[in-house]
């Protein structure tokens, strides 16, 4: 019996060592509830995302996919992941069988109204870099895999003389509308064209070049009106094929924001020949290489949740240049053969908090290029990006989040861009008028009678000012550092000592009345996607003052306790983003994400441990509804990845990652330059969630945070865990 047990243990160890990170990823986590994640095939940070698009257009279909809806109008090649707004879903293709379908999006329950089919979700396969689903209406199995800028599809058809693939340039976009469409055949097996559209991105241009593995029998362009009533002569293109039973037709497509020629160049460079399985294998390898930048040891469902979170962190920002470096700028001009990788999909109000700090650890080369991309956006549009998408500034969310992201890169010592120019870009962006900061410059704060979401605006501006101050200090600009340090305190005027909340202040300095801290309106009062409970703690740059405001460390901890212990009742018209509530703490939305770690900053690390473990174990799960709110382009997942390792960056443009409660037993993090940062949590368990003591490189460590320089040096951080609350610093 002893021999059998040893043999079984050896087999388990062998199985574990053979399992690769991508094997643990479940791309369907977050495809239900309000997760809004992309489901389909892509590679890390790829421009192209090939996946299904449903009939339904609505908030929960921002990515084109939702667990509740198995309709498919086609497979689109650009998708968002985890956003609160819908766009993209460009260049939709649909394999069909039948001569006379209706060329339209269609209506649920009535196949005669469009090209759509139900997908057999019981046979659906979603893996990193690969997607497969049967289309029940047509008896077709659709598969797809991708490279950075290209995709290859494999359609298994039934026997028919009426098989076809339809290119749909009208439908796809969720909140996005075609303004111009064009397609033309090239020889007897290729099509090229473009789709221009207006939506969240107001002037989006996507070009494509598409080839089939065998000639089409016939081709037809079908006219349709766009959503503005204008006739588009080539809104749909049908390519006909004769197919035998089980015949596999391959289709490959390259896309570009520059030109049809760029799309063709991208395709010919990235996918040569017709080896679908080789492209799929390469995509899987790309995912394993990227996901292997963090290797963990953990129990139960933690590895699946962790690696799925890390996967979500690597969907965007997305590469946004052709293989020769050319890209479309924010001024709609073409910039040829740039010497850096350009990026798009900058959800910075969300991602400056955890996603960008995480990438600074595991993707340092990308941080250099992403920062350079932001500086090019500044050069072309006059200010750093806020929420930038496909050459367009969407102006979504308050503040100047790009300033914070650029400041973080400066403070952490990244040098792959002009640091002096970057600093000037930060300062100049904070002088922009029309977004509320001009009121702040005039009054010293944003008056609540002169601007909606006044407190949210001011607090985000204040965080950006702190980032400028920190960057100035690093660059030796002491005068600027002091000026912006003072302006980063503007939010203090809203802090009402009597109520204990951040409260609206009018231009005559009087308080807004009446006041209800439970009132939550999307963007119609003094807050943005939240209320006074959450925003009263949105000053990560000024925690020492917040502690004083609440009467010292004990009073501050009590105030934090009240946030988590309050009723989860909301008044008004709550935003759909206000989800994942613990009392009035809202984990489903970003202004709350740092709050748990304020306990550690105030000397109560065991309270951080309690709440961090609670969030990690109750609000991150396996299954399609495993996320408690919008994934927000990596931010929700980055919070989990960092917290699972045991720390989180609270302060803007900082090098300090404050300790919480690691949920992994061990992690090895590839930080670049051939160095590995190792985290070890000894005696870790559900019960032993409290840090008892810390060692750094084998020596006792008495700080409540680890510095970025120690992480990047490839040090070893050891936590001794236990069941009793403790303070080691």
User: For residue range 626-678, what is the model confidence (pLDDT) as tens digits?
Assistant: 999 999 999 999 999 999 999 999 999 999 999 999 999 999 999 999 999 99
Indicate if the pLDDT at residue 266 is higher than 70.
Answer: yes
CA–CA dist 141, 133 (Å, integer): 6
**What pLDDT digit, counting tens, does each position of 339-388 carry?**
999 999 999 999 999 999 999 999 999 999 999 999 999 999 999 999 99
Indicate if the pLDDT at residue 624 is higher than 60.
Answer: yes
Indicate if the pLDDT at residue 8 is higher than 50.
Answer: no
Burial category of 13 from C-beta neighbours within 10 Å (exposed 0-12, middle 13-18, buried 19 and up): exposed
635-645 vs 302-313: helix axis angle to the nearest 10? 130
Q: Are 311 and 287 in contact (CB under 8 A)?
A: yes
**What pLDDT digit, counting tens, does each position of 693-727 carry?**
999 999 999 999 999 999 999 999 999 999 999 99
Q: Are 32 and 132 in contact (CB under 8 A)?
A: no
Q: Are 217 and 269 in contact (CB under 8 A)?
A: no
The rounded mean pLDDT for the chain is 96
Q: Are 119 and 18 in contact (CB under 8 A)?
A: no
**What pLDDT digit, counting tens, does each position of 517-544 carry?**
999 998 889 999 999 999 999 999 999 9
**What pLDDT digit, counting tens, does each position of 105-128 carry?**
999 999 999 999 999 999 999 999
Indicate if the pLDDT at residue 265 is higher than 70.
Answer: yes
**What pLDDT digit, counting tens, does each position of 167-212 carry?**
999 997 788 999 999 999 999 999 999 999 999 999 999 999 999 9
Indicate if the pLDDT at residue 3 is higher than 50.
Answer: no
pLDDT range class, residue 98, cuts 50, 70, 90: very high
How far are the Cα atoms of 499, 561, 637 from residue 516, in angstroms, in the given order?
Answer: 10, 19, 32
- Going by C-alpha positions, the residue among 30, 126, 46 that lies closest to residue 82 is 30
- DSSP secondary structure letters along 471-504: HHHHTT-HHHHHHHHHHTTGGGGGEETTTTEE--
Q: Are 406 and 417 in contact (CB under 8 A)?
A: no
| Strand, coil or helix: 338 | coil
CA–CA dist 145, 318 (Å, integer): 17
Contacts 24+ apart (CB under 8 A), 116-124: 116/55, 116/71, 116/72, 116/73, 117/71, 117/72, 118/70, 118/71, 118/72, 119/52, 119/70, 119/71, 119/72, 120/70, 121/70
Question: What is the model's pLDDT at position 172?
Answer: 79
**What pLDDT digit, counting tens, does each position of 230-256 carry?**
999 999 999 999 999 999 999 999 999
Question: What is the model's pLDDT at position 428?
Answer: 98
Task: Enumerate domains of the chain plus CATH numbers.
Answer: 26-290 (2.70.98.10), 294-722 (3.30.2080.10)
Question: What is the model's pLDDT at position 722?
Answer: 98
Parallel, antiparallel or unpaired: strands 327-328 and 346-347: unpaired
Q: Over pLDDT 70: what percentage of the chain? A: 98
Place of tokens 């939709």: 92
CA–CA dist 349, 385 (Å, integer): 10
CA–CA dist 317, 343 (Å, integer): 6
Q: Over pLDDT 90: what percentage of the chain? A: 95
Q: Are 399 and 460 in contact (CB under 8 A)?
A: yes
Question: What is the model's pLDDT at position 6?
Answer: 36
pLDDT range class, residue 215, cuts 50, 70, 90: very high
**What pLDDT digit, counting tens, does each position of 291-300 carry?**
999 999 999 9
pTM of the model: 0.96
* DSSP H or E stretch at residue 4: helix 2-18
Indicate if the pLDDT at residue 2 is higher than 70.
Answer: no
The neighbouring-strand residues paired with 76 are: 51
Helices (H), 166-226: none
More confident residue, 22 or 575: 22
Q: Are 228 and 180 in contact (CB under 8 A)?
A: no
Phi and psi at residue 283, to the nearest 5°:
-65, -45
Question: What is the model's pLDDT at position 19?
Answer: 87
- DSSP secondary structure letters along 72-103: ESEEES----S-SS-----SEEEEEE-S----
- Going by C-alpha positions, the residue among 251, 49, 253 that lies closest to residue 156 is 251
CA–CA dist 269, 43 (Å, integer): 16
- Going by C-alpha positions, the residue among 520, 502, 524, 631 that lies closest to residue 575 is 520
CA–CA dist 586, 298 (Å, integer): 27
Give the pair of three-digit tokens for residue 137.
């209406």
Question: What is the model's pLDDT at position 14?
Answer: 34
Q: Are 208 and 232 in contact (CB under 8 A)?
A: no
Question: What is the model's pLDDT at position 57?
Answer: 94
Return the C-alpha torsion angle 471, 477, 483, 488, nearest 10. 10
């Amino acid at each position: 019996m002893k021999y059998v047990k040893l043999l079984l243990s050896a087999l388990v160890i062998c199985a574990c060592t053979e399992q690769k990170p991508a094997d643990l990823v479940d791309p369907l986590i977050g495809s239900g509830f309000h997760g809004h994640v992309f489901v389909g095939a892509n590679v890390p940070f790829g421009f192209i995302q090939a996946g299904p698009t449903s009939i339904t257009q609505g908030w929960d279909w921002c990515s084109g996919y939702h667990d509740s809806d198995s309709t498919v109008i086609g497979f689109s090649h650009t998708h968002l992941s985890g956003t609160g707004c819908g766009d993209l879903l460009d260049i939709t293709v649909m394999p069909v069988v039948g001569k006379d379908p209706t060329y339209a999006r269609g209506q649920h329950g009535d196949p005669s109204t469009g090209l759509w089919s139900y997908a057999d979700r019981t046979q659906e396969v979603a893996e990193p870099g690969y997607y497969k689903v049967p289309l029940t209406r047509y008896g077709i199995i659709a598969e797809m895999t991708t490279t950075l800028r290209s995709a290859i599809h494999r359609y298994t058809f039934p026997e028919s003389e009426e098989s076809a693939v339809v290119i749909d340039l009208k439908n796809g976009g969720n909140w996005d509308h075609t303004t111009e469409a064009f397609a033309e055949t090239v020889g007897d097996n290729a099509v090229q064209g473009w789709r221009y559209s207006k939506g969240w991105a107001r002037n989006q241009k996507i070009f494509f070049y598409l080839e089939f593995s065998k000639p089409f029998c016939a081709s037809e362009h079908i006219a349709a009106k766009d959503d503005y009533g204008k006739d588009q002569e080539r809104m749909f293109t049908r390519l006909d094929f004769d197919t035998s039973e089980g015949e596999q037709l391959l289709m490959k497509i390259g896309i570009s924001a520059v030109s049809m020629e760029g799309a063709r160049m991208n395709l010919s460079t990235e996918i040569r020949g017709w080896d679908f399985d080789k492209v799929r294998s390469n995509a899987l390898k790309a995912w394993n290489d990227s996901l292997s930048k963090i290797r963990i040891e953990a129990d139960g469902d933690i590895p699946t949740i962790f690696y799925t979170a890390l996967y979500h962190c690597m969907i965007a920002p997305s590469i946004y240049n052709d293989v020769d470096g050319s890209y479309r700028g924010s001024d709609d001009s073409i910039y040829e053969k740039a010497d850096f990788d350009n990026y798009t999909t900058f959800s910075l109000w969300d991602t400056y908090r955890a996603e960008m700090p995480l990438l600074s650890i595991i993707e340092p080369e990308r941080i250099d290029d992403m920062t350079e991309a932001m500086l090019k956006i500044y050069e072309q549009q006059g200010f750093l990006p806020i929420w930038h998408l496909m050459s367009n500034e969407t102006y979504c969310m308050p503040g100047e989040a790009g300033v914070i992201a650029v400041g973080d890169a400066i403070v952490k010592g990244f040098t792959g861009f002009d640091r002096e120019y970057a600093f000037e870009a930060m300062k100049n962006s904070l002088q922009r008028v029309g977004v509320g900061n001009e009121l702040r410059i005039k009054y010293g704060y944003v008056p609540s009678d002169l601007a909606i979401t006044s407190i949210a605006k001011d607090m985000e501006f204040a965080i950006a000012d702190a980032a400028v101050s920190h960057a100035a200090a690093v660059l030796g600009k002491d005068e600027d550092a002091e000026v912006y340090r003072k302006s980063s305190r503007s939010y203090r005027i809203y802090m009402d000592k009597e109520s204990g909340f951040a409260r609206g202040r009018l231009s005559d300095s009087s308080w807004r009345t009446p006041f209800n801290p439970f009132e939550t309106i999307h963007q119609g009062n003094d807050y943005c996607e939240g209320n006074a409970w959450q925003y009263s703690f949105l000053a990560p740059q000024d925690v020492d003052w917040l502690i004083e405001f609440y009467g010292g460390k004990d009073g501050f901890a009590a105030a934090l306790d009240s946030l988590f212990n309050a009723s989860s009742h909301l008044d008004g018209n709550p935003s759909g983003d206000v989800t994942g509530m613990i009392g009035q703490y809202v984990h489903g939305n970003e202004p709350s994400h740092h709050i748990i770690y304020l306990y550690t900053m105030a000397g109560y690390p065991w309270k951080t441990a309690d709440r961090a473990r609670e969030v990690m174990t109750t609000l991150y799960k396996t299954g399609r509804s495993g996320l408690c709110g919008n994934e927000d382009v990596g931010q929700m997942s980055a919070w989990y990845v960092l917290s699972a390792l045991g720390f989180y960056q609270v302060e803007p443009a900082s090098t300090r990652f404050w300790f919480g409660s690691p949920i992994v037993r061990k992690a090895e993090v590839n930080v670049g330059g051939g160095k590995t940062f190792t985290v070890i949590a000894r005696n870790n368990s559900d019960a032993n969630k409290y840090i008892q003591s810390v060692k750094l490189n084998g020596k006792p460590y008495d700080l409540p945070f680890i510095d970025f320089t120690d992480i990047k040096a490839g040090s070893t951080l050891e936590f001794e865990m236990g069941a009793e609350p403790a303070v080691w610093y």
